[in-house]
Amino acid sequence: MKIELRENKILFDNGTSSKEIHPFWLRERVNNDEYLDKNTQQRKFDPTSLQTNVSIKQAKINNDLLEIVFNDGVNSKLEIEKIIEEFSRNDSLIKSIKREKWDSKFGKIDKFNYAEDMFENKEMYDMLIKFYKYGFVLIKNVPTKKNFIVNFANSIGSVRRTNFGEYFDVKSVPNPNDLAYTSLPLAPHTDNPYRNPVPCIQLLHCITNEVSGGLSTLVDGFTVTEDLKKEFKEYYDILTKIKVKFKFIDKDVVLENWSELIQLDENHELKQVKFSPRLDFVPILDKEELDLYYNARNKISEMYNSDKYRIEFKLMPGDLMMMDNYRLLHGRTSFDTNEGNRYLQGCYIDYDSTEGKLRHLKRKLKFK
C-alpha cells in the first residue's frame, strides 16, 4: 500500500487498484499546533464548521511526509504511514497479531513473572501479545493478598464492575447463587453470556489451593468452531443463525441477553463464542428446525468436552490467569473440600483495557 500524487490529486494504492483520497478527509487531519492538541490528539477545530468544497492547491511527498497546501490557506505535513493505517480500516497493531489456534497438544505454557514495574515495560507488552495470540496467559508470583486482583487489573486498564462487585470469590460456600461457588466439576463454558455486553476478559487469581483436584481447564472455542464448520457445516450454520436467551437470576437482579452460540462479525468472520447450557433457553421454532438446532448444540457440546481440545493444569497460590472470554471456554475438575481450601478471586476487564495498554506501550517503547 502506498500514497501517490497525480496532478493535485492524492491517491491511495492498495496494490491492486488506486482511488482518490477526498481533500476534506485530509483537511480534517491537519496536525499543525494551531489545529491539533499534541497531547490528546484531539482537534482544536470543529470540522463541521468548514466548507466542504475544500481542494488541494499543491502537494508533494517529502520522504515520509505528505506536504499539502489547501485552498483555504492551511498548510500541513501528514505522516504517510498514519494515512495508510487509517485507510486499511484495521487496527494495525491488534490485527497484526496472528491468532494461533490450539487443542490438547498445546505443549508447554509460557509463564510470566509478576513484578511491580511490569505494567510499563516490555514484559507487559510481550504478555499482551501472547494473550492475543493464544487467548490466555499465566502470571506467576503474584502477591496472594485478598483483592490484589483488582490492583492488577486496574494497572492494565479498568475493572468491569458487575452485580457481583468489582471482584468475586471462587470457593465452595453454602447456598451459592452460582455453581462456580461449589466443589462440583464445571464443564467448559464462557462467563456471563446473559450480560449485554458480555465481559471480554476474565482474570482468576489463586490465593490458596490445598486440594489435589480442582484442576483448571481451557478449550479454544475458535478451534472447535472451525472444526465444526469443516465437519458439520449444517450445524455450524444454524448455530450462527438462531439466537437463544441467556438468563441469570439473583435476589436483586434478573439479567437476560439474546445471542447466537457462534457470533460472526460484519465480514462473517468468527467474533465470539458463547456456551453455558445451564443458562440458555431456546426459542420456539418449527420442529424440523429445533431438531437440527438441538443436534447442533449437542455436537458442539460434545466437541467442547472432548479430550481432543482440552488442556488442564493446577493453579498454585500466586498464579494469575488472564483469559479471553470471547474465545476460550474454561472449567474445572471436582475437588474434595475435606482435603483443604481452594480459594480464587476473579474479576473482568474489557478489550479497551488490553488494547489501550498495548498501543500505549508500543508508543512508549517506540516499537514499529
Cis? peptide before 317, omega within 30° of 0:
no
Q: Is the pLDDT of residue 170 over 60?
A: yes
Query: Do 131 and 175 have their domain in common?
Result: yes
Burial class (CB in 10 A: 0-12, 13-18, 19+), 338: exposed
Answer yes or no: is 96 within a domain.
no
Answer yes or no: is 98 within a domain.
no
Query: Do 258 and 150 have their domain in common?
Result: yes
Query: Do 83 and 117 have their domain in common?
Result: no
* Domain count across the chain: 2
Contact 201, 353 (CB under 8 A): yes
Query: Do 84 and 121 have their domain in common?
Result: no
> What 3-state class would DSSP assign to 264?
strand
Query: Do 123 and 19 have their domain in common?
Result: no
By residue range, what is the domain housing residue 12? 2-89
Query: What mean pLDDT is reported for the chain?
Result: 92
In percent, the amount of the chain with pLDDT more than 70 equals 95
173-183 pLDDT, tens digit per residue, is: 556 555 566 67
Answer yes or no: is 157 within a domain.
yes
Answer yes or no: is 262 within a domain.
yes
Cα gap 43→37, rounded to integer Å: 6
Answer yes or no: is 103 within a domain.
no
Cα gap 221→260, rounded to integer Å: 14
192-233 pLDDT, tens digit per residue, is: 999 999 999 999 999 999 998 999 999 999 999 999 999 999
Contact 56, 9 (CB under 8 A): yes
307-328 pLDDT, tens digit per residue, is: 999 999 999 999 999 999 999 9
Query: Do 175 and 247 have their domain in common?
Result: yes
Query: Do 122 and 43 have their domain in common?
Result: no
Cα gap 3→263, rounded to integer Å: 36
Cα gap 49→29, rounded to integer Å: 14
CATH number at residue 119: 3.60.130.10
Statement: the pTM of the whole predicted model exceeds 0.95: no
Query: Do 61 and 136 have their domain in common?
Result: no
44-94 pLDDT, tens digit per residue, is: 999 999 988 999 999 999 999 999 999 999 999 999 988 887 876 655 678
Contact 188, 305 (CB under 8 A): yes
Query: Do 153 and 228 have their domain in common?
Result: yes
Closest of 44, 32, 41 to residue 68, by C-alpha: 32
Query: Do 126 and 73 have their domain in common?
Result: no
Contact 365, 167 (CB under 8 A): no
